[in-house]
């Protein structure tokens, strides 16, 4: 098989604790250090939950989301965006060479709490970057929940950057009333059964639990592909990314020059990855890993907040403006958008794209950018599949046509 690496210069190898800020990147590749913080979220109900309540009600998810700025310091939102522009990210992964825009497809974003200013903030994002205005609909099948700034930022990231990659696709946001797995899965079901979404983004997860496989019926759907973030705490496996019916998206540090051309792409130190404690290895991973159980992630995408994505948000902890964010939660909606570009060219949409992704990689590994350097604290990147970045990041001009042609 042929390989396509993100070639490394020793000057840009990511070291533990050191990342590169996109605001400090120039054509020559200059960099500066920056501190980041995990975005605070409501991870569960304040009341005590009885042990008699079903497990699915007791487990709560969080979104793997980071923002640029020091921990414990309220971020100062900016009046103008910083971080990578959509045109740069589209060029880095080759989406600017794809002729379609996802028209006719529906991308579902499933998050908790949502954001009351989602539509107006998306409009501001589109205007700032010269994108067409989006077709957006927001649903609250469980009732409107209370506001939550952390999840509002997550939802805004998901919507704005899914639109940046597939600007012709319709975006539906299905809001769960809390972070309980039960409510989030209810929102997933609504997105698929009621709204007909064929690609679903789930930028959230929780630690694996012994009965997780019993909930796979929510993802084993004909003609639908689910994408989930692999986590942002380094080595380790979370669910639903662990499910073999879900494409798990890991994280990279993507360094670009001013034109959006990749200088290097390395494994992000926060990228979740490892071997599931409960799922056996699916057959499509047989040629890629010697582990007996399911390996995570499957693919990867830029996730480092220092090489992150600008998001516009209203009333984020009392402030309005631009903030630069990262985390593997940034990759799930953009992979879902890539899937919309694929399905828009097919007569029938793909079911669980994992089989197609691994088959395509076996035939032509150059369809991916293989990430060969970096670590998540427990595992290292290496040529081929690894437990930091999976198969790698998308080489869209090669990968998307191959997926379009998959039987």
Q: Which residues are catalytic?
A: 154, 158, 329
Distance, CA of 284 to CA of 84 (rounded, Å): 34
- Quote the distance between the C-alpha of residue 299 and its chain's center: 10
136, 122 contact by CB (below 8 A): yes
To which H or E segment does residue 277 belong? strand 274-280
Distance, CA of 242 to CA of 143 (rounded, Å): 29
Among residues 207, 255, 250, 224, the alpha carbon closest in space to that of 32 is found at 255
- Count other C-beta atoms under 10 Å from residue 284's C-beta: 18
Angle at the Cα of 249 from the Cα atoms of 171 and 376, rounded to 5 degrees: 145
Q: Is the dihedral of CA 399, 400, 402, 407 positive or negative?
A: positive
**DSSP code of 355?**
H
SS3 content of the chain, % helix, strand, coil (to 5): 30, 25, 45
Among residues 286, 284, 291, the alpha carbon closest in space to that of 357 is found at 284
CA dihedral 30, 372, 387, 233 (to 10 degrees): -10
Backbone angles phi, psi at 375, to 5 degrees: -155, 155
Angle at the Cα of 88 from the Cα atoms of 86 and 92, rounded to 5 degrees: 115
Question: For the packed helices 118-129 and 149-165, what is the interaxial angle rounded to 10 degrees?
Answer: 40
């Amino acid at each position: 098989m042929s390989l396509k690496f993100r070639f490394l210069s020793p000057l840009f190898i990511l070291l533990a604790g050191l990342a590169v800020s996109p605001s400090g990147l120039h054509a020559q590749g200059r960099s500066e250090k920056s501190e980041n913080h995990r975005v605070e979220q409501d991870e569960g109900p304040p009341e005590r939950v009885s042990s008699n309540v079903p497990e699915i009600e007791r487990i709560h998810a969080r979104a793997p989301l980071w923002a640029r700025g020091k921990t414990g310091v309220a971020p100062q939102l900016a009046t103008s965006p910083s971080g990578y522009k959509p045109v740069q990210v589209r060029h880095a992964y080759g989406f600017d060479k794809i002729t379609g825009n996802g028209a006719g497809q529906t991308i579902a974003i499933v998050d908790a709490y949502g954001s009351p200013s989602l539509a107006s903030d998306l409009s501001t994002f589109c205007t700032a970057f010269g994108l067409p205005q989006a077709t957006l609909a927001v649903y609250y099948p469980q009732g409107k929940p209370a506001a939550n700034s952390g999840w509002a930022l997550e939802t805004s990231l998901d919507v704005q950057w899914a639109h940046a990659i597939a600007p012709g696709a319709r975006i539906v946001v299905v809001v769960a009333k809390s972070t309980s797995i039960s409510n989030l899965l209810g929102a997933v079901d609504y997105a698929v059964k009621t709204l007909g979404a064929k690609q679903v983004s789930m930028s959230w997860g929780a630690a694996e639990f012994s009965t997780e496989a019993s909930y796979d019926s929510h993802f084993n759907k004909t003609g639908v592909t689910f994408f989930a973030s692999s986590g942002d705490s380094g080595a380790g496996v979370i669910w639903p990314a662990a499910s073999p019916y879900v494409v798990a998206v890991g994280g990279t540090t993507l360094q670009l020059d001013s034109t959006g051309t990749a200088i290097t792409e390395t494994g992000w130190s926060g990228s979740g990855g490892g071997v599931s404690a409960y799922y056996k290895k699916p057959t499509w991973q047989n040629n890629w890993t010697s582990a007996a159980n399911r390996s995570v992630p499957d693919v990867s995408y830029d996730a480092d907040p220092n090489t992150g994505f600008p998001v516009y948000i209203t009333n984020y902890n009392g402030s309005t403006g631009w903030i630069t964010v990262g985390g593997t939660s940034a990759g799930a909606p953009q992979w879902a958008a890539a899937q919309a570009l694929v399905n828009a060219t097919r007569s029938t949409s793909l079911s669980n794209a994992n089989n197609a992704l691994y088959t395509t990689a076996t035939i032509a590994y150059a369809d991916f950018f293989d990430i060969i350097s970096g670590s998540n604290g427990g595992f290292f990147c290496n040529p081929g599949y690894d437990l930091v970045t999976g198969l790698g990041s998308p080489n869209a001009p090669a990968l998307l046509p191959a997926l379009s042609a998959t039987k």
